[in-house]
Amino acid sequence: MYQYNDFDRDFLAERNAQFRAQVERRIDGSLTEDEFKPLRLMNGLYLQLHAYMLRVAIPYGTLNGGQMDVLADIADKWDKGYGHFTTRQNIQYNWPKLKDVPDMLDALGEVGMHAIQTSGNTIRNVTADHFAGAAKDEIADPRPTAELLRQWSTDHPEFQFLPRKFKLAVTGSENDRAVIKAHDIGIRLLSRDGEEGYEIVVGGGLGRTPMIGKVLRDFLPKADLLPYCEAIVSVYNLLGRRDNKYKARIKITVHENGIETIRDLVEERFALLKPQFGGVDQEMLKGIEAQFALPEFTTGPTDSYTAAYDADPVFRSWADTNLTAHKNDDYSIVSISIKKHGQTPGDATSAQMREMAAIAREFGHDELRISHEQNVILPHVHKSHLPAIHARLKAADLATANIGKISDIIACPGMDYCALATARSIPVAQQIAIRFDELKLEHDIGDLKIKISGCINACGHHHVGHIGILGLDRAGVENYQITLGGDHTETAAVGERAGPGFAYDEIVPAIERLIGAYLEHRENDTERFIDAYRRLGLAPFKAALYPEAKANAA
């Protein structure tokens, strides 16, 4: 993985020293809150409902054991002993004190991490497929591209005051696990006639006005990436609306001007910018790529895995659910669920973080990933180690076999923490997970994506959930709207609203009725919820959600 050089270290140290002085000036009264707020946001510090919140970037979701240990240390020393992993491959600390934040940032800087541009109208943390470098279906590792984009976008002088925030995601596989079509720019690595390049998608996004991104260039030669992205962002910087916050994202710019106009403007700008790059960026990319070389895979028998798989039903269930095919047949990708039934999706205690770091060091080539689905990944595990890893995870309460299932729910922090939220998300996720665990239906239901947001901004990706839940404030009471048929993958789609919302104490029974209808109507137990929905449409699910309406109509 990428190692900071002297330039990176010096830049970060200087930036942290600046912020330390800014915090001091805020506390001694030299800076007003209006002056300080943009400065703290540029460094990832929010003021939430009950406390400050520090959002730390985990670029493209990649970190090593030493970095995870520091995340745990920060949680213990300056927070309440846990951290919350988010849908943007960040970690959030919910309880820092203002005066401690500079020390937290220095601690992060020691291991090459930061909170820069995790907020504000800038280019945010660049995200990527959490199976990058390991997935069997991968064409190329997206992380060198993501790291190049991180370096280009960090402190980019032209892009510190964009009309609105700007998010980039990169995938190296046709099976999109990075939700690239719901990003301002989505980038997919591909190869055409032996030449490496990218498909560039623009103008996707969720939030108030969900839009699926449109292809801006179906093949961009590899060497043109930075000038082309710079062209897109600079066209947006001038054309994007600043008169209305809700119309300021590039998805609206693309929608209002049309993809052809945007394409023409970008190409025009690109022609001007391309000569300025002069190939230095490609030399840097070569250096970055070398740092993302695959680990030296070990060889050896995998009999111990097969033996455990045959003998231990608990291990077998976990292996069937939480493992993904690796490009090396003797290896597996392990998804560690940090969503034990009833726990807060995405939360890990400091002890759990240290144990995951230790397991990665011992068995996983010291590599960890954070997924946008709020789980932790061990990307490279020799199959012979899986029984030992499972035992260690079990002891740390980390062996829940629910990846991709009904209790593997994305949930934003919602009104339990977030100042923007209109309703709670976390307790809804907890109750759904507990209920279906009690019913012992999880594995019968099979693959299902439930995604919950506590406000229209859609941090919980509800629009692209097979079942999306949106928490709103309706006349001073929490109310939950259900959308159905969303899709976060390469066949991305925005879900359809099922009907009127449900009260806080009605939402879990409503989901139960919905699942009941699915189990009743599916063709067989391999037809997933989303496939049944596509085949049958809204009607049978709507009838299950609103039995009164059906009774009244009869």
Instruction: Enumerate binding residues for another protein (CB under 8 A).
Output: 26-27, 29, 32-33, 47-52, 80, 94-95, 97-99, 344, 347, 415-417, 424, 426-427, 430, 473, 476-478
CB closer to another protein, 384 vs 430: 430
Min dist. Cβ of residue 471 to another protein (A): 11
The widest CA-to-CA distance across the chain, in whole angstroms, is 74
- Nearest distance from C-beta of residue 15 to another protein, angstroms: 23
Q: What are the φ and ψ backbone dihedral angles of 478, each rounded to 5 degrees?
A: -65, 135
Type and span of the H or E element at 232: helix 225-239
Considering the complex, what minimum distance in angstroms separates the CB of residue 427 from another protein?
Answer: 5
Cβ of residue 92: shortest distance to another protein, in angstroms? 13
- H helices within 278-380, ranges in order? 280-291, 303-311, 313-322, 350-363
Q: Which is nearer to another protein, 243 or 505 (CB)?
A: 505
Contacts of residue 139, defined as CB under 8 A and 6 or more positions apart, other chains included, come to 172, 173, 174, 189, 190, 191
Per-residue DSSP letters for 179-235? -GGGSSEEEEEEEETTEEEEEEEES-B-TTS-B--EEEEEEEEGGGHHHHHHHHHHH
Residue 483 CA: distances (Å) to CA of 182, 440, 462, 493, 500: 17, 25, 8, 11, 10
- Asked if 338 and 375 touch (Cβ cutoff 8 Å), the reply is yes
As measured in angstroms, the least distance from the Cβ of 238 to another protein is 33
Q: Which residues neighbour 24 within 8 Å (Cβ) at sequence distance 6 or greater?
A: none
Kindly report the length of the chain: 554
At its nearest, how many Å lie between another protein and the CB of residue 32? 6
Element (H, E) at 379: strand 376-382
Minimum CB distance to another protein smaller for 322 or for 343: 343
Q: How far is CA 333 from CA 367, 486, 518, in A?
A: 11, 26, 30
Q: Which is nearer to another protein, 6 or 34 (CB)?
A: 34
Whose CA is closest to 429, among 530, 338, 547, 314?
338
Those residues whose C-beta lies under 8 Å from the C-beta of residue 39, and which sit 6 or more positions away, are 19, 22, 31
> Which CB atom, from 31 or from 182, has the smaller least distance to another protein?
31
Question: Cβ closer to another protein: 21 or 293?
Answer: 21
Q: Is 66 exposed, middle or buried (0-12, 13-18, 19+ CB in 10 A)?
A: middle
Least distance (Å) between residue 113 CB and another protein: 22
Separation CA 11–CA 416 (nearest Å) = 35
Closest contact distance (angstroms) between CB of 67 and another protein is 25
- Angle CA(499)–CA(500)–CA(506) in degrees, nearest 5? 115
52 or 219, CB closer to another protein? 52
* Least distance between another protein and beta carbon 343 (Å): 8
Whichever of 122 and 422 has its CB closer to another protein, that residue is: 422
Token digits of residue 63: 């970190």
Q: Which is nearer to another protein, 119 or 324 (CB)?
A: 119
Do 529 and 498 meet the contact criterion of CB atoms below 8 Å apart?
no
Q: Closest distance between another protein and the C-beta of residue 271, in Å?
A: 47
How far, in Å, CA of 346 to CA of 369, rounded? 13
CB nearer to another protein: give 44 or 65.
44
CB of 448 to another protein, least distance (A): 22
CB atoms within 10 A of CB 249: 28
DSSP 458: -
Spatial strand order of the sheet with 331-336 comes to 62-63, 368-370, 376-382, 331-336, 323-325
To another protein, the closest distance from the beta carbon of 262 in angstroms equals 38
Select 96 or 142, whichever has its Cβ closest to another protein.
96
CA angle centred on 83, ends 61 and 6, rounded to 5°:
50
DSSP, res 423? S
| Smallest gap from residue 29 Cβ to another protein (A) | 5
Q: Residue 77 or 97: which CB sits closer to another protein?
A: 97
Report d(CA 267, CA 168) in Å as an integer.
Answer: 19
Nearer to another protein (CB atom), residue 98 or residue 388: 98
